[in-house]
Amino acid sequence: MPCSGGFTLLECSFEVVVSLPQMHCVGALPSYFTFPMVVKSSAHANAIEEGEHIHCMVAKRSFKLNAFVETVLIHMFSTIREVSVRDAYKVFGEMRAKNVFT
């Protein structure tokens, strides 16, 4: 199985999204670098359900405190058609450290 970074280079967004559970099954732990790539890929693939699942994983593993991860979540919620901007605003409102970029 190629790493999710390899899928990203090949522009296989949905494969990046589904590789996260596969990584978990083999004991690979996601990092601050993994989540932004997977969240951005779920937005690109318009994978709503998977994106919301990833958001839950981010919250459970305390990655929400990372501004980069939070910013990518805002991007995902604001670009997926079926999800309202309200979800993006909720993530923004829960951010501890806001800056010009977010």
Tens of pLDDT, residue by residue over 50-90, are 888 888 888 887 776 778 888 888 888 888 766 667 888 88
In the prediction, which pLDDT does 8 show? 47
> Could you count the other beta carbons within 10 Å of the beta carbon of residue 53?
15
In the prediction, which pLDDT does 3 show? 47
Between 39 and 7, where is the model more confident? 39
Residue 68: C-alpha distances to residues 2, 26, 32 (Å): 24, 26, 8
Nearest to residue 76, comparing CAs of 102, 95, 48? 48
Give residue limits of the domains in the chain: 4-94
- Does position 1 have pLDDT exceeding 70, yes or no? no
Q: Are 89 and 57 in contact (CB under 8 A)?
A: no
Q: Output the average pLDDT for the chain.
A: 77
